[in-house]
Amino acid sequence: MISDATKRYLQQISSFSQPEATPDVPLIHVDHVASKIATLYEKLRQVIDYQEDHLLRKNTIERVLKRRRLLSSDPEEIAQPLVFELIRGGYFPNDKIPESRIEEVKKLLAKYIFLLESFPTSVSGQEKRKLTDWLESLATCEIEEKLVPRRKEKALLDYLVAEFLPRLVLPEIIDEQTKKELAFAAGQKALLKADTALLNWRLLKLKFPEFADSPNRDYLVTFSQNLSLIAQEIEAKINHPLIKRMQRKAYDLTPIFLLLQDIVLEDPSKAPSLFENPESLEARIKFAYDRRYRLIKKDNRRWGIRWVISILLSKMFLAFLIEVPYDRLHGNFSPLALGINMLFPPLLMFLIIASIRVPRPENKNRLNWEAMKIIYPGDAPEVIRIEKPAEKTGLVGFFLKLFFWSTSAGIFAGVIYFLLKINFSWLSILIFLAFFSLIAFSGMKIQAASRQLKIGEKEESVLSFLGDVFFLPFRNIGKWLSGQLQKYNLIILILNLFFEAPLQIFFEFLESWRDFLKKKKEEME
C-alpha cells in the first residue's frame, strides 16, 4: 500500500500540473533588444563571478537590491526598476509575470525598510551591520519567492520531511517542535542545497508565518523590538550540534526523492497509476537513475570548466597587475614560476573532474530497494537514531587539535619549501596557495555533487585517507577564501563600482528610446 506522504506528494504535483486559467491581466514586458544585451552581460559576469547555479538568481537579486538601496530608500522607487532589471537580465521570464507582482514586491520592501529604520536604540555598531545584512538576505529570498514561487521544490521537501521526521529518534532533551525545525533545516541543506540565507528565510517563515503574510504596523513594531533575539534563535537552529548528523542521514534519502521527482514530473497525470504498479515503477527508477547520472556528469564538467575560466581570468588579472610587476621590480621574475602558477590550478581541477567514477552497480539496486520501502512501507518505519556528538575534551581533545594544526603547518611548510626551490617569490607563493586552496575546496564540492545518487557511507581507502590528510588544510583555507572572494573579487568590485550602474541606466534609456520610436512609427502608420 502506498504511503500517505507519497499520496499527498502525487496529489500536490498533479494539482500544479493542471492548466491554470489565464486571466486577462497585464504582464511585465521588457524590451527584447535591451534584454538580449543585458542577458549577455549577465552571462559574461557569471563566468567571472563564480557561483553555484542554484544560487545565481538569489545572489543577483541581493546584488541589485543593495545597489538600488544605495540610490533610494523609497520602496516605490526600488520595486519596479529592480524587477525590470532582473527580467531584463534573464533571471525571470519576460511576458509571464503579472504587473501586480511589482506592487507585492513594493509592499514587502516597505516591510524590510521599516525594520531597517526601526532598530532598537540598544542595537548599534557591529550588531547593527549584522542585522542589516540578515534583513537584506531575507528580503532577497522573499522577492525571489514572490516573483516565481518554488512550489514543486517545496512539495518535494515536504515529502522528504514527512518520511524523515517519523523515523528520527533524537536525544530526549530535544522537544518535538525543535525536532521538526531541525529536520526541516537538514532536509533543506541535503535536498535543496540551501545556503544560510535561504535557511534563515525558510525557518523564519516556519516559526513566524505571519511575517510573510503582509503583517500590519503593530506586528512589525513588536517584531523589530525582538529582532536580535529572533535572529539569534534562527541562527542557533542552523548551527545546532545535531544538524550535521541529521543532514548526513537526510543525504541518504535525497537520491530516492530526486529520482521519484524525475519520474513524477515526466508525466504527472500518469504518476498515480504508475505508483500502483511496483514492478513498472522499479524499472522506471532504474531508468531515471541512469539518466540523472549522465546529467550530473555533464553538469559537473560544465561547473568545473566555468570555475577554471573564472580562476584563470582572476589569476591573469592578478598576474599582470601585481605579480609580474612585483617580481620584475625585485629582480625575481621566473617564467617557470609564472607558468606553474597559471596552469597548475586549472590542471588540478581537470584531474579532479576526471577522477569522478560511476557508483558501483549494487548502489542502483540498493537505492531501488530503499525507494520501495519508502513508497510501500511495512508496519513500522525504519528508525534513524541520531546521537549527540561526543566532544573530545581534556588532554585527548587538546592533543588531537594540536596534531591537526601541526600536520597542517607541516604540509604548508613543505609546499612553501618546494616552491621556494623553483624560484617562486613570496608574493607568487601566496597567490599560488590561495588559488590551490580555492581549487581544493571547489573540487571537494564537485566530488560531493557527483555522489548525489550515492546511498550509504562513502567508501574509504588508504589513498582517499591520505588525500584527505593532505588536502584538508587547503580546503579549510579555500572555504574561507571562497566567501571572501564573493565579497572582494577585484574584477567584480570594479564592475559594480564603475560599470554596472551606468550600464543599467543605458539599458533603461535604450528601452525608453525604443518605446518612443515604436510610438512614432505607429503614429505614422
- Confidence category of residue 459, pLDDT binned at 50, 70, 90: low
Q: How far is CA 467 from CA 31, 140, 146, 408, 482, in A?
A: 52, 38, 44, 13, 21
Lowest mean pLDDT among 162-171, 217-226, 231-240, 380-389: 380-389
For the CA atoms of 511, 517, 518, 521, the dihedral, rounded to the nearest 10 degrees, stands at 180
- Confidence category of residue 404, pLDDT binned at 50, 70, 90: confident
Mean pLDDT computed over 108-130: 88
Interatomic CA distance for residues 200 and 352, integer angstroms? 32
Q: Can you spell out the DSSP letters for 494-506?
A: HIIIIIIHHHHHH
Lowest mean pLDDT among 184-188, 236-240, 249-253, 326-330: 326-330
The predicted-structure confidence for 218-260, as pLDDT tens digits, reads as follows: 999 999 999 999 999 999 999 998 998 899 899 888 999 999 9
Q: Can you spell out the DSSP letters for 187-241?
A: HHHHHS---HHHHHHHHHHHH-GGGGS---HHHHHHHHHTHHHHHHHHHHHHT-T
- One-letter amino acid at 469 equals V
The predicted-structure confidence for 357-378, as pLDDT tens digits, reads as follows: 666 777 888 888 889 989 998 7
- One-letter amino acid at 263 equals I
Q: How far is CA 275 from CA 226, 260, 282, 500, in A?
A: 47, 10, 9, 51
- Sign of the CA dihedral with 209 first, then 213, 219, and 224 last: positive
376 φ, ψ to 5°?
A: -120, 75
What value does the mean pLDDT of the chain take?
83
List, in sequence order, every residue forming a beta bridge with 385; answer none if it has no partner: 169
Q: Identify the pLDDT of residue 199.
A: 94
Interatomic CA distance for residues 411 and 384, integer angstroms? 38
Cell of 266: 515526466
- Confidence category of residue 395, pLDDT binned at 50, 70, 90: confident
The predicted-structure confidence for 275-312, as pLDDT tens digits, reads as follows: 999 889 999 998 998 888 888 877 777 776 777 676 66
* DSSP structure class, residue 20: P
- Confidence category of residue 126, pLDDT binned at 50, 70, 90: confident
**Which residue intervals of 319-393 are DSSP H helices?**
324-329, 335-354, 361-375
Output the pTM of the full model. 0.80
Instruction: Please indicate whether residue 193 or residue 352 has the higher confidence score (pLDDT).
Output: 193
* DSSP structure class, residue 391: P
CA atoms within 13 A on the CB side of 191: 27
**Surface-to-core class of residue 301, CB atoms within 10 Å of its CB (0-12 exposed, 13-18 middle, 19+ buried):** middle
Mean pLDDT computed over 429-440: 83
* DSSP structure class, residue 270: T
**Surface-to-core class of residue 170, CB atoms within 10 Å of its CB (0-12 exposed, 13-18 middle, 19+ buried):** buried
Q: What share of residues in the chain are helix, strand, coil (percent, to 5)? A: 75, 0, 20
What residues have CB less than 8 Å from 130, skipping those under 6 apart? 231
What are the E-state strand segments in 289-430? 384-385
- One-letter amino acid at 446 equals I
- Confidence category of residue 495, pLDDT binned at 50, 70, 90: low
List, in sequence order, every residue forming a beta bridge with 27; answer none if it has no partner: 98
* DSSP structure class, residue 169: E
Could you write out the three-class secondary structure of 449-466?
HHCCCCCCCCCCCHHHHH
Q: Identify the pLDDT of residue 75.
A: 92
Instruction: Please indicate whether residue 402 or residue 462 has the higher confidence score (pLDDT).
Output: 402
Q: Identify the pLDDT of residue 86.
A: 93
Residue given cell 572555504 in the structure block: 479
Cell of 232: 539569534
What residues have CB less than 8 Å from 219, skipping those under 6 apart? 210, 211
CA 420 to chain centre: 38
Lowest mean pLDDT among 105-109, 192-196, 451-455: 451-455
Helix (H, G, I), strand (E, B) or coil at 119: coil
Which of 282, 381, 277 shows the shortest CA–CA distance to 2?
Answer: 277
Q: Identify the pLDDT of residue 502.
A: 75
- Sign of the CA dihedral with 190 first, then 194, 199, and 203 last: negative
Helix (H, G, I), strand (E, B) or coil at 168: strand
Interatomic CA distance for residues 307 and 349, integer angstroms? 9
- Confidence category of residue 316, pLDDT binned at 50, 70, 90: low
Q: Are 50 and 310 in contact (CB under 8 A)?
A: yes
Scored b (16 or more CB within 10 A) or e, 399-409 reads eeeeeeeeebe
Mean pLDDT computed over 159-164: 93
